[in-house]
Structure 1
Amino acid sequence: MFIRKLLLILIIYSNLFAKEKITLYPDWLDQFQFAGYYIAKEKGFYDDFGLDVEIKPFNQNVNIVDEVINNDATYGIGKSSLILEKYNDKNVVFISSIFQESPLILISLKNKNINSVSDLENKRVMITNDAIESATIKSILNNDKNIDMSTLKILPHSGKVDDLINNKTDLMACYLSNEPYTLSKNGIDFNYFSTNYLNLNFYEGIIFTSQNEVLTNSYRVQSFDKASLMGWEYAFSNIEETAKLIFEKYNSQNKSLDELIYEGNVLKDLSKFDLGILGNINIDRIEDIKKFYTYSGINKSINTFNSNSIIFNKEYLILNGSQKDYLDKNQFTLLLKDSNPPFSFKSTTEFKGFEIDFWHLFSDKLSKPFNTEEVLNGNISYVFSNSVKVNFVYSYDYPNKKDKIYTKPIAKIPLVIATKVDKNFINDLSTFEKTKIGILSSLNMKGKLLSLYPKIEFIEFETDDLAFKALQKNEIYGYVNNIYSLNSSINKNNYKDLKINSSLDINLNSYIELSMKDRQFKDILDLVISKLKKDEIDNILNSYSQIYFNENLNYQQFLKIVIPLLIIIALILYLNYKLYKEIKLRKGIQKELLTLATNDTLTNIFNRRKIEEICEHEIKLASRYKTPFSIIFFDLNDFKPINDNFGHHAGDEVLIKVANTISKHIRNSDSFGRWGGDEFLIALPQTNINQTLSLINILQTHISNISFDFNKNLKISCSFGCYEYKNGDTLDYVLKKADESMYDVKIKYKKKV
């Protein structure tokens, strides 16, 4: 009987601490491309979230999307082609994207003479199945509509750059961070194809899972994402250490340590790690990628989906069952002290301040009523055994007190120096020598300041008032405290002879202090803090910046000063308003004149004079910097019959809608103008002829879909001509060649009709 009970206890205990098993499917072989997941596993980040993650070796015969969709607790790494899977009713959900720009390219050796997309016909290409459908590769392969891409001979990807060197393939899909480095190191010249003409960056390294996993285990999804991003942060912050780990333990490709370090640095740049957007997925970018797939004809599905449905909502606060149960069974109380404005203070009988506002915010986000209690003479009562009592603390570094634990930092509180008003602005405190500077003793940072400014004598004060008296008596030069307390004290006590002089390069962080036994509440608060938005924090900090007036102020004297001042200010404001209206009117007239000088009055795009001027400028840039520049010259097919049959108002509608459609589907860097009548010109900097031809196909598709009010059944088309600038060409020659190209297309159109 005893043994049976013991076994039962052991089973319950083991289940209590059992980790959740998760399977992760990378979309390629071991390399720095998956460093974050290796680090999260090796450094115990997954363990900290109660996850047991198995990273499966890459297998080209395994359909990662099907594995993720059909199995619980399964996650994958994929490309932007996952959007096509969503169109085809595969319920995938994007969690994070590690790479904000795609490193995916097609590479060939220079001796193959594959110099443009048009040279790809009948060539052998090593590429994985998912990469074939990726937005990056598709945009490269659709760069030239005049070639038959069905002639490409797709080969299974071996993962070995030697196959490119040994002529087993003509091209190979790879990452910019890998094969180019290996080839360069071996002195082998190469060409590669990437995409930039769409002015659109494609996501790569996307962490994804199934919709079912999100709906049934959203906390596990959130935990896996957090641990993985922690792994990536560590990997990009410690590239050499991470590369060494991969070299020794995750190196199925036998890469050298130098190759892995190089790869890490390139991928760090593509992840935009230094911009603080690691893992970001933007709904507008998803919309742009969807449009690309549709407009280029890659998406054949008639299905549609809301872009929000493919992105995991990280702002939503998700608690697991244990945390919800803990909140239900416990009472939570914030301990407050009076006379600490603006952090906590009594206004009549009610407490106010930063601390109470943050506490209420946490309560709202957790949908749990929280309590407050005033601490009197240091006495804290514990009425209930399930009562959790906490308080705010402030420190320049992470607090470390015996038997206490602390949340993540909530808000930064700047430290500043107060001086008498006659003191000059302090530009650099380190230039001061043998100067006495006061500091609030409760900050516990005298040692920190001495390490930064060893030539200054820092004197501790118990209260602000004692320090202010020392300032007024010139016993100290300045006094250091946080900006909010000093601002409150100076204004409330009407210290006219004191001012906040300058700020230090040090911040206090606010934390919540808890007992060791309340670790579960700390974890819940950390989750809430991690979801706080900057504007939520700023709104609380900025809400107590009003001026406090001294109760003993002589109001008659005050009014004698203020009323004349208000009259002067009102007069100045009135004169400024009249001047503002006059300036605004003149600017409006100038803008109208400029628009009339540069824009076409009907379509509101550039007129001939302006677009010609832009082309001249772009030709000079292309000549100076040896960059590509192309133009598109086009007119409307059968435009005259529209005017004749439906009237000039109908012709105007056609011109306006064509102009609006073109404007929506070219880059911000492109320029678009009306040459005259129904002729138009597009200037395309940084664009070669193949990219121009691809753009023409996209524009033609959009134009054919325009609907007109005067005739719903009318379909129009355009004759597009184009030309890429060559060194030494004049503008007249470029325009002439584009016009000839358009004329040839027009002849072919008339023959078809």
Structure 2
Amino acid sequence: MTQNSGALHISKRVLLFLWLTCHLFVLSVNSFADDTKASLTTVTLTPQEESFLQNHPVITLGSDLSWQPLVTANPDGSISGYDADILQRINQLTGANFSLVVGDWIDMQTKAKAHDIDGLSTSAIIPERTSYLTFTNPYLTLQTSLFVSRGNPLSIKNFDDLKGKTLAIQKANQSDVELAKQFKHSTILYMDTLEELLSALSTGEVDATFGNAATLYLANKLGMPYLQAAFHLPQQLDLVFGIRKDWPEAVSILNKGLSLLTTHEKLRIQTYWFSDQSQADTIKENKALTLSNNEQLIVNNAPLRLCVAPNWLPFSSINSDGNYQGVTADIMSLIAERLDTKFILTPTSAWRESVDLIKHKKCDFITTITPTRQREEFLTFTQPVFTSPIVLATRLDQFFLPDLTSVGNKPIGIMKNSGIKVLIKNQYPNLNIIDVSSIQAGLALLSEQKIFGYIDSLEVIAHYVNKEHYINIKISSTLPMDLNLAIGVRKDWPQWPPLLNKAIQNISNEEIQQIRHRWIGIKYDEPIDYKVISIIITILGVLVFLVIYRYRVIAKYNTKLEDLNQKLAKQASTDQLTQLPNRYLLDQETLRVIAASQRYQEPFSAVLFDLDYFKKINDKYGHQVGDDVLIQVTQEMSHSIRDTDILGRWGGEEFLLVCPKTTLDGAIKLAEKIRIHIEQHHFIEGRKITLSAGVAEFNANENYHSLLKRLDDALYVAKNSGRNTVSTSKIETTETV
């Protein structure tokens, strides 16, 4: 019995070893594929944005010469830094050419106001700038701190200690100028340059200044490492790009580029440019934070009741002894240490129970929670304490999936009431989601082929796959979103999130890495017995045979893969809602018809349709009814055209009809026929649906784009002539005698 048990134990360990080897290989391949896909991803621009970039091949943004490492002027005239790298990635993603110029900050603002340059980089949203600039979403958020000279000779530890002290402010830094207005009992000195400011601080001419990680970086760069952080301020500096107000397309392009930059990518760039600053963590040397009197009163308001996810390792769990454990448990211990307080665990048996308790104020804090709009009704949130990729797990026999849209109607398990479910539903509303009660239940259903896949955090899935010894499950896709785990605070305690953020920011990267390795690193309980080697060799031999067999099986799938490729090609050229050719295919088909028309000297016409007042249908009846109307209109129009005609969805509620071998008069008659048919058809009870049309015949002396321009102009005339009408566009010819 003992020998059999030992053999069984060895077999399990061998299988687990082999599974881990294969699984790590799959993860590496998938990760490489994801990185490659991310590097090839580009932004889809509107025609207006594309036209804007053609008309503005270079867009120049100004910044301050002294704001390193955000912008750095190099000896060769080039500009590098964090901002430059962010803009370079945006240029790669959008095809734009945003460039930087540096100089005096006040001069840059003056030039931006006069349109001598096109906007500002390294900017903050200041009321005075909104008169001439429109701002993007933030591309970097920096924690604002109060800095003093090395050693903190005046023992400035909180806001109260600043009374009667002298604060130095860089004159051109409007954000700090606004911030300084709060310190009415301090003397404010305005200085022209950061170098002048640092010198004044080192000599004792001033007592303190505001700054962030960039301030420390530049101080070291100038050979003036005189600063140390005394304490963090509740304010954060959101850096944005400001663009001249008459260029909304540029703002839209920048935001689209920023939206494709993942948190990990921005963090990589930030780490590269800020990593040289060895003193950035000076404030983290002491374990306990120095709190103001008001902050101390808040912390002492015991008890502090804590709710957690009771069964979601490696992030959070309540073990059999009733103790809180996991990544967030260790982080909460550090926060309690920094604030010199204690959180009292309120045990629960399910996540839903924990959420209900804090909803009804029977808990004060809840960890491992993802901020959502629904939860904002009863919670406020800290900054994320941990970020995890969201992944799709499937069985080993499934192909790699580029994204969730290829899953179709196959059932996907997601833990009920989780923040992940909200994120997935928002981005993939048509996904067939199956609620599961727990991660264990979801993986069990997946292993038994009762669902196609299971979605959760990468670390959570890896933990439970390892724990339950699932050897038939793999990661098939990394989704384009991250799970941001924060601390939720009851809504009527707004004073707590800034305090918790202060403690979170005080936790060093080294401490986070130690926690990560403790809970997420691979562990080996004991050395592998050499007797296992013979078993491994035998199994590897079997695997070699299976690889050969699999190769022969794969050959039989070539035909199926060819069919799949054809289906994918159709999906790429077909509008998903109406099943008509999309704009890409319409472009190709129209160019083909133009070539045939020019070669054989045959007429060719086109019609551009647009449904009248379609937005009112969506607003009144909802987008589902609007989609149904588009589908019905497609069907009715398709019945009215010839087999040789090409009807496609041009975009939104616009349709393009290409009519080979058709004169202008013939196309007008066809457009009128369709217009009358649509007007007489009943799509929605009590409401008439009509359309307007622009018609044009192709002229041998024009190109595709000029034909489209004439179609669009004709449609515009039809719209402005009362709608439900057909308008034509003719090319006027001049005869020479």
> Smaller-chain TM-score range?
0.3 to 0.5
TM-score by length of 2: 0.39
The alignment's TM-score, normalised by the length of structure 1, stands at: 0.38
Greater RCO (CA < 8 Å, at least 6 residues apart): 1
